[in-house]
Amino acid sequence: MTALSYLIAGILAWGGIGWLVDHFVGTTGIFAGIGAVLGVAGAVYLIVRRLGA
């Protein structure tokens, strides 16, 4: 359950930050996609680091 919450939180947090950057820059989804990928990468790192999976 913890690993799933890390994944969801990473995608939502970094995807949201990317969406905000898209909004201010005027692009359509480029930074949101990059943010979501970075969120997944960060979540996987946290899962491996904290849970030892």
pLDDT value of residue 2 = 87
Number of folded domains in the chain? 1
pLDDT value of residue 38 = 96
pLDDT value of residue 51 = 85
Q: What are the pLDDT tens digits along the chain (53 aa)?
A: 889 999 999 999 999 999 999 999 999 999 999 999 999 999 999 999 998 85
pLDDT value of residue 53 = 59
d(CA 5, CA 44): 11
Distance of CA 3 to the CA centre of its chain: 14
CA distances from 32 to 6, 21, 26, 49, 50 (A): 18, 8, 12, 25, 26
Tell which residue, 8, 16, 18, has the closest CA to residue 42. 8
Task: Output the pTM of the full model.
Answer: 0.84
d(CA 34, CA 38): 6
Q: Which domain holds residue 22?
A: 2-51
